[in-house]
Amino acid sequence: MLALARSVASVAYKDVLGKTIDKGQRGTVTGLAASWSAVVVIGFALVLITLSDARFAVVAGALGLAAGAWVLAGVIFAGLAEDAGAQDGGANGWQAAIANLRYLREDPQLARFITARGLLTATALAPPWLVVLASADGGAALEGLGALVLAAALAALVSGYVWGRLADRSSRRVLIWTGISGAAGMALTLLFWALGLAGTLWAMPLALFAIMIAHQGVRLGRSTYLVDMVGEDRRAVYTAIANTVIGVILLASGVFGAIAGLFGAAVTLGLFAVMALGGAWVAYGLKELGEA
Distance CA 213, CA 184 (A): 11
Residue range 75-98: average pLDDT? 63
Secondary structure of residue 269 in the 3-state scheme? helix
Q: What is the pLDDT of residue 160?
A: 87
CA distances from 237 to 89, 90, 97, 106 (A): 10, 9, 6, 14
In this prediction, residue 292 carries a pLDDT of 42
Which has the closest alpha carbon to 118: 226, 287, 275, 3? 275
Confidence of residue 290 (pLDDT cuts 50, 70, 90): low
- The region of weakest confidence among 33-37, 228-232, 260-264 is 260-264
- Between the CA atoms of 247, 251, 256 and 262, what dihedral angle is there, to the nearest 10 degrees? -170
Domain boundaries, the chain: 2-76+99-284
Identify which has the larger pLDDT, 34 or 122.
122
d(CA 285, CA 115): 11
User: Distance between CA atoms of 176 and 163, rounded to whole angstroms?
Assistant: 12
Which of 46-55, 196-205, 264-273 is most confident? 264-273
Question: What is the rounded CA–CA span in Å between residue 162 and residue 210?
Answer: 15
pTM of the model: 0.79
32 or 92, which is more confident: 32
In the chain, pLDDT over 90 holds for what percent of residues? Answer: 29
Q: What is the mean pLDDT of residues 31-60?
A: 81
pLDDT at 254 exceeding the cut of 80: no
CATH superfamily of this structure's domain 2-76+99-284: MFS general substrate transporter like domains (1.20.1250.20)
Tens of pLDDT, residues 132-188: 787 766 554 445 567 777 888 888 888 888 998 999 899 999 999 999 999 999 999
Average pLDDT, the chain: 82
pLDDT band, very low/low/confident/very high, at 95 (cuts 50, 70, 90): low
The residue-averaged pLDDT of 203-228 equals 90
Question: In the predicted model, is pLDDT for residue 272 greater than 60?
Answer: yes
Neighbours of 15 (CB within 10 A): 23
CA angle 119, 246, 132 (to 5 degrees): 65
Q: Let me know: does 279 contact 181? Beta carbons within 8 Å.
A: no
Residue 141's pLDDT is what? 47
Give the mean pLDDT of 78-95: 60
